[in-house]
Amino acid sequence: MADRGKDTRVSFLRRDGPTARRPAVHSLGIFIQWPGSRVSNATASDRDVTYQKHCPGCFVNKSGLAVCPQCGYDESAPRTPLYLPHGVVIGGQYRVGKVLGQPGGFGITYIAWDVHLQQRVAIKEYLPRSLAKRADQGEGVVLLAAEHEAAFKDGLEQFLNEARVIARFDHPNIVRVRNFFRANDTAYLVMDYYEGVSLGDYLASLDGGRVPPDVAAQLLAPVLDGLQFVHDRGIVHRDVKPHNIYLAQGGRTILLDFGAARAAADGEGPGAVLLSEGYAPLEQYQRGSPLGPWTDLYSVAATLYRMVIGAPPPAALDRVGQDSIAKPLGFDAGFERVLRKGLALAVADRYRSAYDMRADLFAALDLLDEHSPRLGATGIFAVSSEPVTRPINEPDTAPAPDTAPPTGPAMTKAAASENPRVLGPATPAGLTAAWIIAGAIVFGAALIAAVLWLRLAP
């Protein structure tokens, strides 16, 4: 593996020590301190153990030290045998590093190094812990019991089928799947890797674990854009929650982890029901129950609840009969109506469109957004029927607009009314020129008629 050198360390700046990182500010003006701490490398046991030359946490050359002086990752820390070992190469191309976030119920995500393209990627391994485990010898995956074989194979095929679908998507707020392959008696998804922090980790770092409703709305707006895009193409994510929403450096909010995705309206197969309590609606508890956009929008509303309350809502099953969410929560009535509609237990009472939910959310908070949904000349949300995305061949960096969008909390309608670029009376293109030409024609005709009348008059 090539030594990447200092020029690759673009994400961090040295300040007062070898592992000090620069705090970053998301596009909304919220302050994020990326995880990391300073640790000494001088331990006696290090002299008796051989460590990776390149850090499994960031893949910068650390010269075989146990603790990386760049990111602070400690390679000597205990590692559960459920995880793939540091440095193992899978798919003939990807060197495995540390585990990213908390392993989910059906898979583990690692940072990895693409030895061919010489860049970091994220790799999701299909490993449902209720059905399988790591083999005692080697990197393979084995079943916990023979009767789990059908469920494991069904989940594995679904994992790969949805990877094929998601790999064709190209949207700035959806994680991009680069590759997928079988190995170790399971399957892997290779995705873009982003520097940043999950929404769940960010909220956990705050006092009280919550943010104001307007900040929550702006953070979730790109997620709703991404969901509308996949819903329009017949895919349901099925596992939207704070830890699957990523606040990337540069201001992008990205929806991660489509490993649980299924085609819309499909129920569960013979496999186990996979869900995240508090964020899953009733239909996800029932095998064979139709799933659709309404399923993901319940999860978005549950995430919104978590962001403004500081804790997830009660599990859907616990709300049946006595629903604590029906009581006032202390917010504006319009905002609470949006929240309750998104969290409705009955599918018929819930949002069916991510765009509708987004429009209602911004309207309830008296916020305006210049991008998506797009504003009409009257300032009313003119929701386009086309998904907000970019062409597959368009570069990641779009040309800068004439005036940069607000980077703080969303503008209110009152503030936007003072900004003619946002809400000013729009003049259709060419309208002024058309009136000038029409006036000239009328004036010319009147002049000719007057001349003819003077000549022909007796």
pLDDT of residue 447: 74
Q: Are residues 212 and 158 in the same domain?
A: no
- Token readout for 223 is 């997620």
- DSSP helix/strand/coil, 208: helix
Q: Are residues 157 and 251 in the same domain?
A: no
Q: Structurally, how many domains does the chain consist of?
A: 3
- Token readout for 125 is 């391994």
Asked if the structure places residue 85 within a domain, the reply is yes
Helices and strands, counts by H and E, the chain: 10, 19
Q: Are residues 286 and 257 in the same domain?
A: yes
- Token readout for 330 is 């202390």
Strands 141-143 and 235-236: unpaired
pLDDT of residue 1: 43
Output Rg (C-alpha) for the chain, integer angstroms.
27
Task: For residues 411 and 343, give the distance between their C-alpha atoms in angstroms, rounded to a whole number.
Answer: 26
Q: Are residues 245 and 101 in the same domain?
A: no
Asked if the structure places residue 252 within a domain, the reply is yes
Q: Are residues 363 and 285 in the same domain?
A: yes
- List the CATH number of the domain containing 278: 1.10.510.10
Q: Are residues 167 and 232 in the same domain?
A: no
Residues (pLDDT < 50) of the chain are 1-25, 31, 33-47, 264-272, 372-411, 415-432
Q: Which of 17, 50, 78 is the last residue of a domain?
A: 78
What pLDDT digit, counting tens, does each position of 81-135 carry? Answer: 999 999 999 999 999 999 987 776 778 999 999 999 999 999 999 999 899 999 9
Asked if the structure places residue 19 within a domain, the reply is yes
Angle of CA points 88, 90, 92, to nearest 5° = 115
Asked if the structure places residue 443 within a domain, the reply is no
Q: Are residues 112 and 202 in the same domain?
A: no
Which residues have CB under 8 Å from 242's CB, separation 6+?
Answer: 198, 199, 200, 203, 303, 306, 307
- List the CATH number of the domain containing 97: 3.30.200.20
Task: For residues 352 and 294, give the distance between their C-alpha atoms in angstroms, rounded to a whole number.
Answer: 5
Q: Which of 78, 111, 126 is the last residue of a domain?
A: 78
CA 173 remoteness from chain centre: 5
Q: Are residues 309 and 319 in the same domain?
A: yes
What pLDDT digit, counting tens, does each position of 417-452 carry? Answer: 444 333 333 334 444 455 566 677 777 777 777 666
- DSSP helix/strand/coil, 452: helix
Q: Are residues 343 and 362 in the same domain?
A: yes
pLDDT of residue 458: 58
**Full domain range(s) for residue 72:** 1-78
pTM (2 decimals)? 0.68
Active site amino acids: 239
Q: Are residues 221 and 370 in the same domain?
A: yes
Question: 21-30 as b/e, with b when 16 or more CB fall inside 10 Å?
Answer: beebebbbeb
Lateral strand order in the sheet of 186-192: 89-90, 94-99, 107-114, 119-126, 186-192, 177-183
